[in-house]
Amino acid sequence: MPFAEKNMLLLSLTSIAAFMSGAYSLVITFTSSLMTNVHEFTVCYSFMLTMEAIGTFIGPPLVGYVYEVQSSYKLAFSICGMVLVVSGAVLVFLIKKERFKTKSYDKSVNDSIEVQKLTF
């Protein structure tokens, strides 16, 4: 990490990153279960894991190329951080969109139930 010059700071930051990496599998499972139904869950989950594998395969050579051009890892770390922030923002947007869609569906179902009660 470009700004971690002391060993204890680097140790602390890598410990936090390792904890977050462990929680990542839970986040992927939870997110794909929110976005799909039971029948589409396996397809969604496998697609997400495939995208992760492509990133893992392409990422190191790309960072190596950026290091060779810039002679520094700062740009590579900055690009990785920006991609992570953008993906988090997209994830939050998708979850909010799904919750809004579910709430509006629940409201229309409740409205139709009340109408049916009135007609009987």
> What does the domain layout of the chain look like in residue ranges?
7-85
Q: 79, 87, 104, 105: which is closest to 31 by C-alpha? A: 87
* Global confidence as pTM: 0.51
Enter the DSSP assignment of 36.
S
* pLDDT by residue, tens only, the chain of 120 residues: 556 677 787 778 888 888 877 777 777 787 777 777 877 888 878 888 888 888 889 888 988 898 899 888 888 888 888 988 898 888 788 778 877 776 665 555 555 544 444 444
Task: State the Cα–Cα distance between residues 120 and 116, nearest whole angstrom.
Answer: 6
